Amino acid sequence: MGRKAVLREKYNVTSAGYDELYREEQFEKYKLALNVVGVCGTVLDDGCGTGLLLEYLKSTSKLAEVKLYICLDLSPGMLERAKSRISMLNLRHLAELVEADAENIPLRVKSIDYTLSFTVIDLVDDKLRAINEIDRVTKTAAVVTSLKKAHSMKACLPNYGRYVGETSKDYIFIRFVNKLSKGSDG
């Protein structure tokens, strides 16, 4: 079984208890990142998991300007949980589910206004490809977070964008994609 298949199965199995284990940690990241960059238009939740970010955005009234919210995840189990959460939050009119991986995002070039990618980059085989995919589909800005304990990531960190802060477990970066295309460092 390949690495992606193993990862998919791991998240399928852990999807039932994911929220209980990680809600507080995830909300800490969301709060810091979304105080730096807002969201509007078409939003991609790259590695949406159970849809916790969508719940956070609704609970903090940050969905008012969002026209379409795309939940992308490698795990069908996580997407099933996200689908249930979308229904529970009464957001079926706003959200779509896509089963795919972060290295091969099946969306058109510059079709997304904001991409939010929380702790996904640590899980992909080709980190630069995943970053390039985010840049390919994103028009305005992206949030990328990386676990502090992912020591192998240190060399990649400059590629993730402008450092804007950290939580107890993660580094948070913002990529201003429109500036990147003009030769800026993010």
Local structure of 57: helix, strand or coil: helix
For the chain, 186 residues long, give each residue's pLDDT as a single digit of tens.
799 999 999 999 999 999 999 999 999 999 999 999 999 999 999 999 999 999 999 999 999 999 999 999 999 999 999 999 999 999 999 999 999 999 999 999 999 999 999 999 999 999 999 999 999 999 999 999 998 887 555 566 677 888 899 999 999 999 998 655 443 344
Q: For residues 52 and 26, is the Cβ–Cβ distance under 8 A?
A: yes
What does the domain layout of the chain look like in residue ranges?
Answer: 3-180
**C-alpha dihedral, 65 to 174 to 106 to 102, nearest 10°:** -130
As given in the structure block, the two tokens for residue 70 are 């795309």
**C-alpha dihedral, 3 to 124 to 76 to 69, nearest 10°:** -170
Q: What are the residues facing 97 on neighbouring strands?
A: 71
What is the CATH class of 3-180?
Answer: alpha beta
Phi, psi of 136 (to 5 degrees): -65, -45
β-pair type (112-117, 95-99): unpaired
The pTM (predicted TM-score) of the whole model is: 0.92
